[in-house]
Amino acid sequence: MAETQYFMLPGPTQVPPRVLRAASMPMINHRGPEFKAVFTEVTALLKKVFNTENDLFIFTASGSGGMEASVSNFINPGERVLVASMGNFGSRYRDVCRKMGAEVDFVEFPWGTPVDARVIAQKLAEDKNREIKAVFCQHNETSTGVYNDLQAISLARGDHPALLIVDAVSSVGALPIKTDEWGLDVVVSASQKGLMCPPGLAYMTVNERAWQAAEKCVNACYYFSIKLAKEFLANSQTPFTPGVSTLFAQREALRMIFEQGLDEYIADHFFRRRLVRAGIEAMGLTYLAGEEWASPAVTAVHVPQGFKPSDIVAPLREKFNIVLAGGMGKLKESTFRIGHVGYMNVMDIVVALAGVELALRRLGHPVVLGSGVAAAQELLAQGF
């Protein structure tokens, strides 16, 4: 296998060599003084990314571990929750909530559109007895390439006491997130998407309101217990052996993000979104997401009629080491996805567009070679 790939998944994502070198540092004692310095710095920088002063927990887990923690710590068996979904990860929240014994009200919006906050407002207004304990949603739905207006969803609660619990796994770093300002009670993310780091760590912020729910929660929760984690947090430690090497990596990646500037780093993602969409459009393909809520992290593209995602993804991987993602859930057979989240050179996008054109040509689908590439180049020329 070639060591160099054009690696364009919506997670895991490319890891800068500087971050990989940091991950290769010798092991340290996770109960010793050197660990405290790493843990404290990572926590402080993550809080700046999340725009929060809430508690922030670091779990050694993938993002789904964080999702589980965001249910099991706050929701008791038998309690009602509202899961607002617009794609495959919304279904995952539904499944996790059900496994944890919650009574799930599943509200699904058409895949390719965001959550309509008015529907959430209506659902909560109908809940006269205030039985709904939490609203769950994604910040960015990775299966469709659509993001949500979290502030609108938060405000839609009005004076209903339901917590707002957000899966921001694929958005943190790619989209601004104002955890405290928007009143997001719990936010979950992970190391391997917009945070330029290998997989292995999940992050979760918890505010005062969420803590009140946690105090009353008796759900089965051991590894992911925030009550236990809070005791260790006082000493800048975790209850169990953390992914030390990934923490080294995450510290380096966060330093890089702040050297560039968080706003600039996020803005890069919005520019990549423009490049991808211009290119896809110019070659005559269509994407799922409308302009307004199109994700800066990932673009889901419809496969032309008569073909499967693997007709495009597989030959690009085999022939050119271009790694794109297939579809997910009910889009599995009809879309492929170009990830543009995290660490990336914009030229990777030009290469991916060139690759997609070649794959279409190979399939006999009408395409003007260079059309997508040229559209992206026009945008690049403006700033060059």
Ligand X SMILES: *Cc1c(COP(=O)(O)O)cnc(C)c1O
Quote the least distance from Cβ 139 to ligand X, whole Å.
Answer: 8
> Which of 129, 136, 132, 80 has the alpha carbon at shortest distance from 108?
136
Dihedral sign computed on CA atoms, order 305, 279, 144, 146: negative
Quote the least distance from Cβ 68 to ligand X, whole Å.
Answer: 9
Q: How far apart are the first and last CA of the chain?
A: 34
Q: Which is nearer to ligand X, 64 or 76 (CB)?
A: 64
Residue 158, by phi and psi: left (phi above 0), alpha (psi -120 to 50) or beta?
A: left
Quote the least distance from Cβ 32 to ligand X, whole Å.
Answer: 29
Quote the least distance from Cβ 351 to ligand X, whole Å.
Answer: 23
**In the chain, which ranges are continuous DSSP H helix?**
17-23, 33-50, 63-72, 88-99, 117-126, 150-155, 208-215, 226-233, 244-260, 262-282, 309-320, 346-363, 371-382
Q: Which is nearer to ligand X, 11 or 372 (CB)?
A: 11
CA 103/CA 305 separation, integer angstroms: 39
Q: Which is nearer to ligand X, 95 or 281 (CB)?
A: 95
Q: Which is nearer to ligand X, 54 or 138 (CB)?
A: 138
Quote the least distance from Cβ 375 to ligand X, whole Å.
Answer: 27
Parallel, antiparallel, or unpaired for β 201-206 and 55-60? antiparallel
Whether 140 contacts 150, CB under 8 Å: no
Q: Which residues contact 249 (CB under 8 A, 6 or more apart)?
A: 15, 19, 20, 22, 23, 191, 197, 198
Q: Which is nearer to ligand X, 134 or 367 (CB)?
A: 134
Using CB under 6 A as the criterion, which residues of the chain lie in contact with ligand X when the complex forms?
Answer: 11, 62-64, 67, 89, 138, 142, 167, 169-170, 190
Q: Which is nearer to ligand X, 167 or 348 (CB)?
A: 167
Residue nearest to ligand X as judged by C-beta position: 63
Quote the least distance from Cβ 122 to ligand X, whole Å.
Answer: 25
